[in-house]
Structure 1
Amino acid sequence: MTTSLASLGWDERFQDSFRRFRRPGNCAGRVTRVDRGVCTVLTAAGTVRASLAGRMLSAVAKDPLAMPSVGDWVVVRTWEADRRTIEAVLPRRSALVRHTAGKAAEGQAIAANADAVAVVESLDPDPDSGRIERLAALAHASGAEPLLVLTKADMVPDVDLLAADLGEAMPGCPVITVSSVTGQGMERLAGYLGDGRTLALVGASGAGKSTLVNALAGVEAMATRGLRADGRGRHTTSHRALIALPQGGSIIDTPGLRVVGLFDRRPGDAASPTDGLARAFEDLEELATECRFRDCRHDTEPGCAILAAVADGLVTTRRVDNWRKLQREQAFARSRADARARAVDRDRKRKLAAAERARLRKL
């Protein structure tokens, strides 16, 4: 089965990036799934499986963000015996990046080249504004357009009032309430799709992401399961996947995120250098510029504009506390990344010095 690359988002920008790789045996494709370093890729000729070329393995060893992710446009080379390798990842237009678990100060791309990122939160049971804010920072930092999608609208009373309250966790972003049962909001959400456009979904387990994918695709593209007896979500989606839609465009579904560590990217890093945390809390960032002291910690300082806004009921204490918590987390991640960069630089200098000593000994 042939695939229209344009319907998947292939455009002049990616075409220009691919020119230097254009040679017999090479073709472009979009990654739909990654399994232990082997990628499923949609190409103009159909779906293929490709492992990482040596140069890609070397790049990933130096920087995990170089690892192909779902949504990436890649260069696929076909060898003898119908063996295929991924030779390069084309520059990303956007990337959802989170901090990896463990001690290493590294980032992990969980989705790439989305035009919009939907933070999906279930209205039943117990929606969490703090979780929405954390995922909003991730979405803002991606470089794609963020929006809030509230699922299971048919299961709660006063849905508009609840949506307005949760929408304060993502000020300035579209808020869409949807129900896969009644169809409420699905047409509006479908407006973020279309030929060549990609919508990525992020959220906790049980938020209804896979159900949304199936409703938008018109087929059961992703398996779904009910909530646990305690109302908590089940991990149904075990892998990230890009689903091409019959009407054009695509959706990226991601597993439920239990931990979303903010990864601090420097300007010039892959995709967007946007400070997602600052954009997610833009209202508080603007208020902070009105504080009397430039180094105000928004705790007990006199003339603090944020404390005044809390006292006046313009912002909640919960939102301010979560902002400060995420700032501390980001600062810690930045310090770890800086320490790792210094360690890499020291190691490089030691190797250069050792090489120079060896050269002098031979003279």
Structure 2
Amino acid sequence: MNIINMKNLGLTEEFIQESKIYKNLFIGRVSTQSKNLFKVITENGEIAAEISGKFHYSVKELSQYPSVGDFVMVDRTDNSQGNGIIHHILTRKSVFARKVAGSKEDIQVVAANIDTVFICMSLNNDFNLRRLERYLSIAWDSGAIPVIVLTKSDLCKEIEVRLNEISSVAIGVEVLVTTSTSDKGHQSLTRYLSNGNTVAFIGSSGVGKSTLINCLLGQNILDTNGIRNDDKGRHTTTRRELIMLPNLGVVIDTPGMRELGIISADLTKSFADIDSLASQCRFNDCTHKNEPSCAVQKAIKDGTLSVERLENYRKLKRETKYEGLNSKMIEKEKISEMFSGMGGMKNARKFIKEQNRNKRR
């Protein structure tokens, strides 16, 4: 039996110290999840596992269940006596999460305990600056370092134009250009891979995440498909999966995410240019709409800031502001915002009363 070096798998001294709280249990790392069954890599290999009944009844939110990348405490390191039982999740050092589609409150952990987020975007039909801003905002908030990976460069005739567009929105983020048509088309990624490091590949369907991972593995382990002619990616990867690379740490492949609901985001990093401009405005509470001496509006007139980027900034700011509020609370916030320049909620209530009075007449 080959003993797996768990430190190469990302196990740190912090995790080891925390694990000592739990007696007679073993450290493992979640590699895949299928409904209520997990696969966990332990020092003796990969095992099938499920969560304990006590764990199940103590969980109040979807995000509290084990996710791919989590370090967990299990009761065994092989399946000779049946499935392992997961009793605890060790404290996550980073989390890339999104709002569950169709849900107001549920949070899905896409990947946990990651060091680097490769935000993959095709230079072909998938190219979308506004979506990239959204990905960057969530990535910065995750606790990991974002890196933009541009795929299918062989299908783009305007690479320099695209790179200039990206540089205007990806402040302080490295951009890597790759191609699958060359044996060395993925080499720029390897400097982010090393023993003990975890890299998550995030992006829309069909942009080439699985192809890149296959290149790094040196073999076709993952199924791949491209973007269809209708500009929609084929959903090749259907579940999140943690994969060990020979002497290069681990990578996490994720299903395509065209829509990415925000739970929380770090807009100060992803929109550092707007925050810097805002500090130069005449008024501290400038809304960057009609106020005099607005540095943001001046930048738009000068052509150094696009209207689309400002609008996306406002949109993401609204999403993060309203996260966790119920419908009544959101409505109250919106009304308060509408009347912020006219006395806030006091005038809003007066306005609503007058509206109701007119309806009764």
Instruction: Work out whether the TM-score is over 0.5.
Output: yes
In structure 2, the partner of 1:45 is 44
Post-superposition offset of 1:136: 0.7
Residues 50-90 of structure 1 show CA distances to partners (whole Å, capped at 9, x for unaligned) of 10112321232x12221111111010113993331110110
> Which amino acid is the alignment partner of residue 119 of structure 2?
V
In structure 2, the partner of 1:351 is none
In structure 2, the partner of 1:349 is none
Q: Aligned runs of 1:76-95 on 2, under 5 Å?
A: 76-78=74-76, 81-95=81-95
* In the alignment, structure 1 residue 31 sits paired with structure 2 residue 21: no
Post-superposition offset of 1:110: 0.8
Q: Aligned runs of 1:282-301 on 2, under 5 Å?
A: 282-301=272-291
Aligned CA-pair RMSD: 2.0
In structure 2, the partner of 1:270 is none
* In the alignment, structure 1 residue 102 sits paired with structure 2 residue 102: yes
Post-superposition offset of 1:184: 5.3
Post-superposition offset of 1:106: 2.9
Q: Aligned runs of 1:27-176 on 2, under 5 Å?
A: 27-60=26-59, 62-78=60-76, 81-176=81-176
Structure 2 gap segments, 5+ residues each: 331-361
* In the alignment, structure 1 residue 189 sits paired with structure 2 residue 199: no
The 1:97/1:141 distance shift into structure 2, 3 A limit, reads: same
In structure 2, the partner of 1:238 is 238
Post-superposition offset of 1:154: 1.4
Post-superposition offset of 1:45: 0.4
In structure 2, the partner of 1:11 is 12
The 1:279/1:335 distance shift into structure 2, 3 A limit, reads: farther
After the TM superposition, which segments of 4 or more aligned residues of structure 1 sit over 4 Å from their partners? 337-340
> Which amino acid is the alignment partner of residue 120 of structure 2?
V
Post-superposition offset of 1:38: 1.3
> Which amino acid is the alignment partner of residue 50 of structure 1?
A
* In the alignment, structure 1 residue 281 sits paired with structure 2 residue 271: yes
**Partner Cα separation in structure 1 for residue 268 and residue 327 of structure 2:** 19
Residues 101-126 of structure 1 show CA distances to partners (whole Å, capped at 9, x for unaligned) of 23442322110011100111000125
> Which amino acid is the alignment partner of residue 19 of structure 1?
K
Residues 167-210 of structure 1 show CA distances to partners (whole Å, capped at 9, x for unaligned) of 32211100000112124552221111111111111111111111
**Partner Cα separation in structure 1 for residue 104 and residue 50 of structure 2:** 25
The 1:327/1:93 distance shift into structure 2, 3 A limit, reads: same
**Partner Cα separation in structure 2 for residue 11 and residue 316 of structure 1:** 43
**Are 2:126 and 2:207, in contact at CA under 8 Å, matched by a contact in 1?**
no
In structure 1, the partner of 2:306 is 316
The 1:303/1:59 distance shift into structure 2, 3 A limit, reads: farther
The 1:126/1:228 distance shift into structure 2, 3 A limit, reads: closer
Post-superposition offset of 1:303: 1.6
> Which amino acid is the alignment partner of residue 4 of structure 1?
N
**Partner Cα separation in structure 2 for residue 186 and residue 167 of structure 1:** 21
How many residues of Structure 1 are paired with residues of Structure 2 in the alignment? 327
Tell me which of 257, 279, 297 is aligned to 1:307. Answer: 297
Give me the TM-score of the superposition, normalised by structure 1. 0.85
Three-state SS of the structure 2 residue aligned to 1:81 is coil
> Which amino acid is the alignment partner of residue 56 of structure 1?
F
The 1:137/1:59 distance shift into structure 2, 3 A limit, reads: farther
> Which amino acid is the alignment partner of residue 157 of structure 1?
K
Structure 1 gap segments, 5+ residues each: 265-274, 341-363
Q: More displaced, 109-118 or 77-86?
A: 77-86
**Are 2:198 and 2:250, in contact at CA under 8 Å, matched by a contact in 1?**
yes
> Which amino acid is the alignment partner of residue 86 of structure 2?
I
In structure 1, the partner of 2:356 is none
> Which amino acid is the alignment partner of residue 253 of structure 1?
D
Give me the TM-score of the superposition, normalised by structure 2. 0.86
Residues 247-269 of structure 1 show CA distances to partners (whole Å, capped at 9, x for unaligned) of 230111110003211103xxxxx
* In the alignment, structure 1 residue 2 sits paired with structure 2 residue 3: yes
> Which amino acid is the alignment partner of residue 288 of structure 1?
A
**Are 2:126 and 2:204, in contact at CA under 8 Å, matched by a contact in 1?**
no
**Partner Cα separation in structure 1 for residue 313 and residue 194 of structure 2:** 35
**Partner Cα separation in structure 1 for residue 324 and residue 220 of structure 2:** 41
Q: More displaced, 287-296 or 67-76?
A: 287-296
* In the alignment, structure 1 residue 330 sits paired with structure 2 residue 329: no
* In the alignment, structure 1 residue 20 sits paired with structure 2 residue 21: yes
Three-state SS of the structure 1 residue aligned to 2:196 is coil
In structure 1, the partner of 2:345 is none
The 1:77/1:258 distance shift into structure 2, 3 A limit, reads: same
In structure 1, the partner of 2:349 is none
**Partner Cα separation in structure 1 for residue 224 and residue 328 of structure 2:** 41
Residues 196-229 of structure 1 show CA distances to partners (whole Å, capped at 9, x for unaligned) of 1111111111111111111111121210013323
In structure 1, the partner of 2:180 is 180
Post-superposition offset of 1:278: 2.6
The alignment-based identity, stated in percent, is: 36
**Partner Cα separation in structure 1 for residue 106 and residue 230 of structure 2:** 34
Three-state SS of the structure 1 residue aligned to 2:27 is strand
**Partner Cα separation in structure 2 for residue 301 and residue 233 of structure 1:** 43
